[in-house]
Structure 1
Amino acid sequence: MLLRLPTSISEAQECLAEGAVPVGGASLVWATWQRDGFPELAVSLREVPEANVIGGGTLGAAVVLHRIDDTVPEVLRRAAATVGTGAVRRTATVGGNIVGSTLRCLLPAALVLDARATVLEPDRVHVTDLAEVVAKRPLMLGIHWQKPLISGYRKMPAEAGGPPPFVVAVAVHADDDGRRLLRVAVRDGYEVLSESAPCDAGRGRTLDALERTDIAALPAQAREAVRHQVTDVLNRLSDG
């Protein structure tokens, strides 16, 4: 296998045009390649500056998870900190986790930030939503978002070797008129669900509004985890 390491967006697009297979930190795909065979040509964005940005409402796809610091919102930082082991976080990348992983540990956090993705194709660079990224698995350059007022994240305990742990991510945003919107995303098994509710009328009404969404269809223990995390975030927002 020949691994190409372009140093610019245009060079990366040339690699795609030549049929190169995108890889992140290869922490997820290596075992698959060993089993099914290696591609003739692969491409990594780890030398492309735009794919290594951290902060300013942007996170590059080539950033390895252990580099994510307090320049990004709490929800995304905590999500990255709970992925695998320290060794995994030193090799796994943002793009590999969101695009290439079946667990997509960062996806709930990115959804509550209302993040958008910048995607590379051989003939263009464009911005799209995360639903398209998950469905089509393109070569992602990075994600960007508007800074939330506050955010939070919780991963429930789970048995080793069992189903993926339940995850809940929460963030509160304000629009141009100052109205506040709560966004919630959960990972239940391998499925990710996101909902939103206005949160200017108090915590009780916000929780009631969430119960009128698909969140209400979750198992009782999962709904309680959502209520706990939403309550914690709204309390911290009030205290702030």
Structure 2
Amino acid sequence: MQLRLPSSISEAQRCLAEGAVPVGGATLVWAGWQRDGFPEQAVSLRRLPEANAIGPGELGGAVLLHHVDATVPEVLHRAAGGVGTGAVRRAATVGGNIVGSTLRCLLPAALVLDARATVLTADGVYETDLAELLAKRLVLLALRWRTPLASGYRKLEGAAGGAPPLVVAVALHSGDEGRAHLRVAVRDNYDVLSGSAPCEPGAGAGEVLHALEGTELGELPAAARDAVRDQVVEVLARAAG
């Protein structure tokens, strides 16, 4: 297998046009390749500057999870820090986790940040939403978002060998005329559910939680709704303080 390491967008496009398979950090595809056979050529974006950015409003798809630091919002920083083991985080990439993984550990955090995806195809670069990114399994160059007022993340303990642990991600965003809105996303087993609610000035956590019950989050089991409540209360209290 030939591993191609483009250092420019045009070179990366050429790799894709010539049939190179995106490899990410190879933590997910390697076992499959060993079982089913290796492709003739693969492409990694680890030398592409546009895929390695990291900052308050941007995170590149080729960034290793253990490099995701406190320059990004707390919800994304903590999500990356909670993936697998240290060895996994030193190899796995942001793009590989969101697009290539069935667990999609970073997806709830990206959803509550209302992130947009800059993607790479053989024909060019464009911006899209997370739904298209996942549905078409596009090559992620970078995520971009507006910095929230506050955010939080909680990953519950899971049983060894059992279902994926519950994940709750929350972010409070500013709006017009002092209005704000709260976004919540939950990974329950392999499903990711999300919802949002307005957060008027002076509104209490109870009002926001009541509004969230009217979204698909209201379908969660009681234990998951309790985890959502706790995280919502914590983020709203932190924003108020």
Q: TM-score, normalised by structure 2?
A: 0.98
Q: Distance in 2 between matches of 1:60 and 1:206?
A: 32
Question: How much has 1:180 moved relative to structure 2?
Answer: 0.4
Distance 1:155 1:56, change over 3 A: closer
Question: How much has 1:177 moved relative to structure 2?
Answer: 2.9
Partner of 1:140: 140
State, as a whole percentage, how many aligned pairs show the same letter.
Answer: 71
Contact 2:56 2:73 in 1 (8 A): no
Moved over 2 A (4+): none
Q: How does 1:85-100 map to 2 (within 5 A)?
A: 85-100=85-100
Partner of 2:222: 220
Amino acid at match of 1:217: E
Amino acid at match of 1:165: P
Structure 1's unaligned 5+ residue stretches are none
Q: Distance in 1 between matches of 2:157 and 2:218?
A: 21
Q: Distance in 2 between matches of 1:33 and 1:175?
A: 47
Question: How much has 1:138 moved relative to structure 2?
Answer: 1.0
Q: Secondary structure at the match of 1:126?
A: strand
- Aligned counterpart for 1:210 among listed residues 209, 212, 215: 212
Q: Distance in 2 between matches of 1:67 and 1:181?
A: 29
Q: Distance in 2 between matches of 1:147 and 1:80?
A: 17
Amino acid at match of 1:69: D
Partner of 2:159: 159
Q: Distance in 2 between matches of 1:55 and 1:171?
A: 17
Question: How much has 1:176 moved relative to structure 2?
Answer: 3.7
Question: How much has 1:179 moved relative to structure 2?
Answer: 1.1
Structure 2's unaligned 5+ residue stretches are none
RMSD across aligned C-alpha pairs, in angstroms? 0.8
Q: How does 1:44-59 map to 2 (within 5 A)?
A: 44-59=44-59
Q: Distance in 2 between matches of 1:176 and 1:3?
A: 48
Q: How many residues align?
A: 239
Q: TM-score, normalised by structure 1?
A: 0.98
Q: Distance in 2 between matches of 1:5 and 1:176?
A: 44
Q: How does 1:5-84 map to 2 (within 5 A)?
A: 5-84=5-84
Q: Distance in 1 between matches of 2:10 and 2:96?
A: 21
Q: Distance in 2 between matches of 1:160 and 1:107?
A: 22
Q: State the Cα deviation string for residues 77-111 of structure 1 (Å, max 9, x = none).
A: 00000000000000000000001000000000000
Q: Secondary structure at the match of 2:178?
A: coil
Question: How much has 1:134 moved relative to structure 2?
Answer: 1.0
Q: State the Cα deviation string for residues 119-169 of structure 1 (Å, max 9, x = none).
A: 111111100000111111011101000000000000011111100000000
